[in-house]
Amino acid sequence: MKNKKIINKILIAPYTIWMIGFIVIPLLFIIYYGFTTKRGDFTFNNVVDFFSLIHLKSFYLAIRLSLLSTIICVVLSYPLALIFREGNFSKKSFIIYVFILPMWMNSLLRIFAWLTLLEKKGVINLILSFFKLPNINIINTDAAIIFGMVYNFLPFMILPIYNSVMKIDENTINAALDLGASKVTTFFKIILPLSVPGMVSGITMVFIPALTTIVISKILGGGQVLLIGNVIEQEFIESSNWHLGSGLSIILILFIFITMALTSKYYDKEGGNFL
């Protein structure tokens, strides 16, 4: 018994050291910086500054774009999951892998690929010009960022929804039909409610990274679109104001915690560990 405990402690040590060094201590630093001035005095100003008009604007924009992207991801993923459930494909898992294949590529590369596609003289416009069609001009706009977010985070939506829809027992659906329900009723009364946990974990896994993204908005927004993540980054790197950056981060982290707490009751009881 005693030996086992010692072995457990040894085994858990590397991760504990990692966690303290790279998660706990940095977090403590953020809290320290967030509540102090440059001279080291205690202050609430950095945190309260989150609610200034200019910062709220970036925050609102970030929420708007990430919400839109999340909705688009749901709309793209759900029918796919249903088709997979109904259909008789022999290579279901292979097709799913094709959908999540982009996830195995570096995300920066993928975002730059979108840049090449959407640029004023990018691939899409070259093709449009070739067919004498009017060019599109969406680079450096909200639309480009949404494209980037959807493309980047779609696999994180597909997988949990696919899993929760596939997990519904065939006979549960047959039972609804057997009791006289039409296919539409069966969808709304049985399939949709039973896939809520998958949808919720998909939504959190798309919405939160999209909300806090820096890279997508920087590359596809060309510095024209400032999301809350970009604002924080600027404070840290360009203005070297770690105190304000930390203060904003604290509120953002709190916001994320609250969102997760609100959605946690819909989570899959089995944890939805699919990745």
Partner 1 sequence: MAKKLIDLVNISKSFDKDLIIDDLTLSIKENSFVTLLGPSGCGKTTILRIIGGFTSPDKGQVFFDGEDITNLSPNKRQLNTVFQKYALFPNMNVADNIAFGLRVKKKSESYIKDKIKYALKLVNLDGYENRQIDALSGGQQQRIAIARAIVNEPKVLLLDEPLGALDLKLRQEMQYELIRLKNELGITFIYVTHDQEEALTMSDTIVVMNQGYIQQMGTPEEIYNEPENAFVATFIGDSNILPGKMIEDYLVEILGSKFKCIDSGFGKNKLVDVVIRPEDVELVEKDSEKAILKGVMTHSIFKGEMYEMECKSNDGFEWLVHSTILKEPGTEVGIYVEPKNIQIMNKPQSEDEKALDVEELDE
Note the residues at the interface with partner 1 (CB under 8 A).
169, 171-172, 174-182, 185, 189-190, 193-194
Distance CA 152, CA 25 (A): 30
In the numeric block, which tokens belong to residue 213? 């993204």
Query: Least distance to partner 1 from the beta carbon of 46, Å?
Result: 45
In the numeric block, which tokens belong to residue 190? 């049985």
Instruction: Indicate the residue among 78 and 151 with the shorter CB distance to partner 1.
Output: 78
Query: Least distance to partner 1 from the beta carbon of 146, Å?
Result: 32
Query: Least distance to partner 1 from the beta carbon of 141, Å?
Result: 41
For 199-241, give the DSSP string: HHHHHHHHHHHHHT-SHHHHHHHTTSS--HHHHHHHHHHTS--
CB environment 63-78: b (16+ within 10 A), e (fewer): bebbebbbebbbeebb
Query: Least distance to partner 1 from the beta carbon of 185, Å?
Result: 6
Distance CA 243, CA 83 (A): 50
Instruction: Indicate the residue among 171 and 273 with the shorter CB distance to partner 1.
Output: 171
Distance CA 194, CA 268 (A): 10
Instruction: Indicate the residue among 196 and 275 with the shorter CB distance to partner 1.
Output: 196
Query: Least distance to partner 1 from the beta carbon of 162, Å?
Result: 19
DSSP state of 135: P
Instruction: Indicate the residue among 90 and 240 with the shorter CB distance to partner 1.
Output: 90
Instruction: Indicate the residue among 120 and 189 with the shorter CB distance to partner 1.
Output: 189
